[in-house]
Structure 1
Amino acid sequence: MTPRRRWTMLCCALVAAMTTTCAVSGVAYLIPALHTQHGVSLSQASILATIPTIGLMLLIIPWGALLDRFGERRVLIISLLITLTGTCAAAIVSALGAPFWVLGAALFVGGLGAGAANGASGRIVVGWFPARQRGTAMGVRQMAQPLGIAVCALTMPLIAAHSGVTTALLVPVAVTAIGLLACIVGIVDPPAAPSSSSTGSTDSDNPYRAGGFLARVHGVSVLLVIPQSMMWTFVPTWLIVAHHWAPAAAGALVTATQIVGAVGRIVAGRVSDIWDSRMRPIRVVALAAAVSTAVLALTDWLHSPIAPVVMALATVASVADNGLAFTAIAEFAGPGWSGRGLAIQNTAQHLATAASTPVLGAVIGAAGFPIAFALTAITPLIAVPLVPRDAQRD
């Protein structure tokens, strides 16, 4: 495996992981159109945006177990075929004017298939890259989330405003089709290797019995995903509905912010390689997310013109930790358990997202955006002292 081939495969894994982001999070960028064009309340639209996440959570751990047993390529191809079926069905039923529950069912199917890509791409990084490069490589792979959000933010609100919700739903279809092709052409399963778990145990041993490291990483990640979910789901609505921005301008700002956030993940990963630590950078990120989100709440409450700038900073801070946690989990769990470990990580984060999104939508409807921003600033602050020390890795 040459370095060039390794990095090419990483790019294919990144595109595959983008399919999960677009299929699961893309509907959130239709909330303004659903609210203004179809008379759907913010709370109801938020529930519809949560449905793909529910589908993802139901099968993400079984997908992880399949990855541990059968490897990455075959499982990725099957899962992306299911996702493509669901996203195509969503566009079709929307074009036919079917009830929203039918649209929700199609989105649910797309979510069911979306659970393998994140874990598989993480396993590819740990399986093909040496430890001294994994933080940087995982940072590149973790660009999938902000880049996927950027694609959705740049295209879906604008398309929905000019051509309707149905046309906007073709964006996840296109991304999923490209990701499927990338997997077929570019992915090769990593070779079987001894476990990199710090316990020195065999792959069949459960790393969750080796102490509380994995559980604490999962818990910290859950706390840190709440402000991230707030930024991804409600910022377009905040800009368009609360601040009366044009959809194109709002999409451009969110896209630029997500691109900067993607670069921030690479920087965080590189810092973790240089520091030889995954956990110390997570503490820094958690503190930055808490402070920036609190400042956003204050500036929005004061109707300050710098609030959108602060929002961009808060968004960048809120997305920088994911690659660090993914790398640490995969390294500690080893190849025999990393699929399930990463699946549990994703399940916990998506469960937190699914639970918090309707609550935040209700808080916004009842008390406004500043209060919602202030509440989301609390969770990363709680996370700071809970970050564990680094576990030994290879």
Structure 2
Amino acid sequence: MALSSQNSKERWFFLFIATLSQVSMAVIHLGIPALIPLIQDELKLSRTEVGLLTSVLNSGVVVAAIAAGKAADRFGERLIIAYGAMACGIIAMGMNWAAGFATLFPVLLLLGLATATATPAGSKAVAGWFHARERGTAMGVRQMAIPLGGAIAAMTLPSVALRYGWRFALAFAGLFAVGMGLAALFLYKEPPISSRRAEQGPVVGIKGLIQRRNIRSVLFFVFILGGAQWCYLAYLELYLTETLGFSIRLAASLLALGQICGVGGRVFWGFLSDRFFGSRRKPTLLVVGFLAILMTLWTSLFSPQTSSGLAFLVVALLGLTLLGWNGLYLAFVSELAGSRVAGMAIGLSNTGAFLGIVTLPPIFGFIVDHSNSYRPAWIGLAGMILVALSVLRCVREEDKYSL
């Protein structure tokens, strides 16, 4: 893509706008779980109802991800980024009128549908504005928005809610999202028409994408790695407290460290791919996956005698790898699909990832419950990542559009 010098300088500003928009949506999406104890207490929700509400929020993302990607391909990413953020904000503010489970359920479903717009549209923006030689780095920067939004939500929303109530906290987050949506609407610009004409890859539908072996391979990869991420997030703190005898505060500190390393990893692996692997994504993803396997196996060997220093090191490296591959992967998918259908391909990948998130953590927990040990679960997870890497090796990066 040949961009003028001025456009070349502006692209980082447009990336900043798109990233802020996704941060605002992540604050809402990941902030709701942080407010669940207060919501549950006020609305007298059962644990089953809490679980259903969490599921319906993520189900909305699964249902709408592909449609959001197709909309970004058809109407352009600017409108989808802007209206998606504004819709999230308005829906979050609408939760002020929730009176119980029956009213929260449809509202959270709508919120999930709106949240689904963020990743396909934002990733298409990166695919359109950035050349392959720096796309991995740019995609990593944009993907920082999700954990960054989660961190902001965890640090601010509970404190605001304890003082002013959870409804006010969500209204505040919603106002932020509406503001970021308006900023995207008026400040973000799409790549020049000349670069649109130069976009690569054939225009195909969902069926055409799935018929490509490369796309099927990366969908399997993201199903496993997406699920593995949430096994890490859901069970690491429990594992450290139950197996190593760490205090909840120390275990939470390790989990936070892993998430911070994951944020850094999203930029680091993209930069590594751009600068040292000639913008080839597959070799970098294979390196990341192999290191994740080693760290997962090392984690399985923890015992009450494991020092906190060693645990910090392993958890940090596991976060760097297992939580840090997302930006690089999305750059890979957009390039394999071709920028004309990048939004739809990324939406399809989001669906695959969320299916993995729904499927793998319960299996991990089932293994722990029935073996009375975390070790078989961690080893099994490492084995599944190895299978995913074996499938990824079949991707022909040099022959992107073949069936």
Same fold, TM exceeding 0.5?
yes
8 Å CA contact retained: 2:124, 2:343: yes
SS in 1 for 2:197: coil
CA distance in 2, matches of 1:91, 1:341: 35
Alpha-carbon distance between aligned partners in 1 of 2:373 and 2:140, rounded to the nearest angstrom: 34
Mind listing any 5+ residue stretches in structure 1 that lack a counterpart?
none
Q: Give 1:315 shift.
A: 2.0
Q: In structure 2, what residue type is equivalent to 1:281?
A: T
Give, in angstroms, the shift of residue 297 of structure 1. 3.3
Give distance in 2, aligned partners of 1:101 and 1:335. Answer: 41
Aligned to 2:281: 278
The aligned residue for residue 53 of structure 2 is: 48
* 1:181 maps to 2:185: no
Secondary structure at 1:203's aligned position in 2?
A: coil
* Other-structure match for 1:140: 141
Q: Is the 8 A contact 1:52 1:108 kept in 2?
A: yes
Match of 1:376 among 377, 381, 392: 381
Is 1:74 equivalent to 2:83 in the alignment?
Answer: no
Counterparts of 1:369 and 1:283 in 2: how far apart (Å)? 26
Q: CA deviation at 1:194?
A: 2.9
Unpaired runs of 5+ in structure 2?
1-5
- C-alpha distance in 2 between matches for 1:167 and 1:369: 40
CA distance in 1, matches of 2:365, 2:51: 7
Q: If you compute each CA radius of gyration, which structure gives the higher value, 1 or 2?
A: 2
> In the TM superposition, what are the counterparts of 1:247-326 in structure 2 within 5 Å?
254-274=255-275, 275-276=277-278, 277-299=280-302, 305=308, 306-326=310-330
Please identify, of 233-242 and 188-197, the stretch whose mean Cα deviation from structure 2 is larger.
233-242
> How do residues 25-64 of structure 1 correspond to structure 2 at under 5 angstroms?
25-30=30-35, 41=47, 45-64=50-69
Q: Is the 8 A contact 1:150 1:256 kept in 2?
A: no
1:349 correspondence with 2:356: no
Aligned to 1:391: 398
The code of the aligned residue for 2:221 comes to V
Alignment CA distance shift 1:219-1:74 (3 Å): same
Percent sequence identity over aligned pairs: 26
Distance 1:209 1:86, change over 3 A: closer
Q: 1:330 to 1:99 in 2, by over 3 A?
A: same
Change (3 A) 1:245 1:172: farther
Distance in 2, Cα, partners of 1:354 & 1:36: 26
Q: TM-score, normalised on structure 2?
A: 0.81
Residues 179-218 of structure 1 mapped to structure 2, 5 A cutoff: 179-190=180-191, 191=193, 192-197=196-201, 202-203=202-203, 208=209, 211-218=212-219
What is the aligned partner in structure 2 of residue 333 from structure 1?
337
- The Cα of 1:288 is off from its aligned counterpart by 1.6
DSSP-derived class of the 1:337 partner: helix
Judge conservation of contact 2:227–2:358 (CA < 8 Å) in 1. no
Q: Which whole-Å CA distance do the structure 2 matches of 1:173 and 1:337 have between them?
A: 30
- Aligned mates of 1:178, 1:237 — CA distance in 2: 38
Amino acid at match of 1:377: A
Normalising by structure 1, report the TM-score: 0.82
Quote how far apart the aligned CAs of 1:162 are: 7.3
Structure 2 CA distance, aligned partners of 1:236 and 1:29? 16
**3-state SS of 2:74 partner:** helix
Pair 1:128–1:15, CA change in 2 (3 A): same
Aligned pair count reads: 383
- After the TM superposition, which of the residue ranges 128-137 and 348-357 deviates more from structure 2? 348-357
The RMSD of aligned alpha carbons is: 3.6
Q: Give the distance between the partners of 2:64 and 2:300, measured in 1 at CA.
A: 36
**For 1:155 and 1:149, how far apart are their aligned partners in 2?**
10
Q: Write the letter of the residue equivalent to 1:80.
A: A
